[in-house]
Structure formats: structure tokens, C-alpha cells
């Protein structure tokens, strides 16, 4: 069979390497087509490949809330019974809340920031439970007079440490009924933030420790 030369259109037999008329080569190499514009995009999920997802450190609160409540209940009872120093109890409740959260949600990722959130919530729960236990104890055992006397004793001891007339006037005001109410409100607010801060510190320690163990 014959085919026309690509240069001069002279008839050339198939298999002849050059045209007898113009000498043009008849064996042409086909160049590969350039890739399409989307050829550089990787396949979404190639067969046999592993898809690595970035870890999520978000707190799953449906597991964190029960864990915080359980840790808070333990800490509140220990505080009410006077079996633990408040400083250690509040750091411990944050740490314990993270431990209970890990047991309820083993697949969760932890770090110091995640633990601090859980610890802070544990501190809020502990404050509420401890306040309820203290209120029930005062009502049941009629300890309001004892609490009032203890508060006056603390004010008296603080007043004896200074001779400043202005400071003495402040202490005299705190001994009055309105001053005692104001002082009690201040103690409650301070205790609330104290519980949250120490709980967050304990939770951050627990989150960093358990997160490092998993990694």
C-alpha cells in the first residue's frame, strides 16, 4: 500500500523511510499530549492510600459534663468534711475531671488548653456543690452563730496586726451587720473565681500529661 508524503504529496510505499521525490522522512514519532489543566490535582482518595486527619482538641461536652460533675462531687465532699486542703482539692478536681473525661471518651485528643476548660467547669461544679453542702450543714446543725463568731474572730485578729486609724475604721465597719454581709459577698465572689482558677490549673496539668502520654 501507498500513502502520500506529508511534505510533497508524492506517493510513497508503506515502510519506505524517506520520500523518493523530496527526501522527507516518512517515519514520524507521535509526541505525548500535554496534560490537562486539572491533571496536577491529586486523586481524592487513591486506592490503597491512607487518609490522615488532623486531630481535634475540641471538648466533647456530653462526656465532659458528667466527668466534671463526678470529680466535683468527690472534691466537694472532701472539702465539706475537712479531709483535704482547699488548694490541693481544687487543683486535684481539675486533674480528676480530665482523667474521668479520658475514661469516658478515650478517642479524644487532649492538651493543656483542653484540660483547662474541663478543669474550670469542674471548679464551677465544685463551688456550687460545696456551697450547697455548707448551707445544708449550717441549717441542719444550726452553725450560723458559730460561723458568725468565727468571722468576727478573723476580723479581730486582722485588726490587731495594724494601728492605722483608717484600717481600724474599715475593720469596725466589717464588724457591723451590713459590713459582715458585704464581707460575706466578697468571700463568695473570691471563692468562686478561686475555684475556677485552680480547677483550670489542675485541668491544664492533666491535659498536658495525658496528651503527652497518648502522643
Provide the pLDDT for residue 65.
Answer: 96
In this structure, is residue 90 part of a structural domain?
A: yes
Count of structural domains, the chain? 1
Provide the pLDDT for residue 100.
Answer: 96
Question: How far is it, in rounded angstroms, from Cα 65 to Cα 59?
Answer: 10
In this structure, is residue 94 part of a structural domain?
A: yes
Rounded to two decimals, the pTM is 0.65
Angle at 17 between CA 11 and CA 19, to 5 degrees: 35
Q: How many CA atoms lie within 13 A of 49 on its CB side?
A: 9
**What confidence tens digit (pLDDT) does each residue in 181-214 have?**
888 889 889 999 999 999 999 999 999 998 887 6
Question: How far is it, in rounded angstroms, from Cα 92 to Cα 104?
Answer: 18
Domain that holds residue 160: 62-214
Calculate the average pLDDT of the chain. 82
The three-state secondary structure class of 185 is helix
In this structure, is residue 28 part of a structural domain?
A: no
Amino acid at each position: 500500500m501507498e500513502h502520500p508524503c506529508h511534505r510533497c504529496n508524492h506517493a510513497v510505499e508503506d515502510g519506505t523511510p524517506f520520500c523518493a521525490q523530496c527526501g522527507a522522512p516518512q517515519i514520524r514519532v507521535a509526541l505525548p499530549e500535554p496534560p490537562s489543566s486539572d491533571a496536577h490535582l491529586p486523586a481524592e482518595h487513591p486506592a490503597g492510600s491512607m487518609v490522615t486527619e488532623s486531630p481535634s482538641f475540641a471538648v466533647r461536652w456530653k462526656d465532659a459534663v458528667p466527668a466534671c460533675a463526678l470529680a466535683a462531687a468527690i472534691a466537694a465532699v472532701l472539702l465539706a468534711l475537712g479531709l483535704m486542703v482547699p488548694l490541693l482539692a481544687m487543683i486535684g478536681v481539675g486533674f480528676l475531671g480530665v482523667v474521668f473525661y479520658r475514661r469516658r471518651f478515650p478517642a479524644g485528643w487532649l492538651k493543656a488548653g483542653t484540660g483547662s476548660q474541663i478543669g474550670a467547669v469542674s471548679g464551677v461544679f465544685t463551688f456550687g456543690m460545696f456551697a450547697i453542702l455548707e448551707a445544708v450543714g449550717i441549717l441542719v446543725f444550726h452553725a450560723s452563730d458559730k460561723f458568725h463568731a468565727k468571722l468576727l474572730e478573723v476580723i479581730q485578729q486582722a485588726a490587731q496586726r495594724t494601728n492605722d486609724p483608717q484600717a481600724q475604721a474599715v475593720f469596725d465597719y466589717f464588724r457591723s451587720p451590713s459590713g459582715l454581709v458585704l464581707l460575706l459577698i466578697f468571700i463568695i465572689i473570691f471563692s468562686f473565681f478561686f475555684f475556677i482558677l485552680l480547677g483550670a490549673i489542675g485541668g491544664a496539668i492533666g491535659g498536658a500529661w495525658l496528651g503527652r502520654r497518648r502522643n
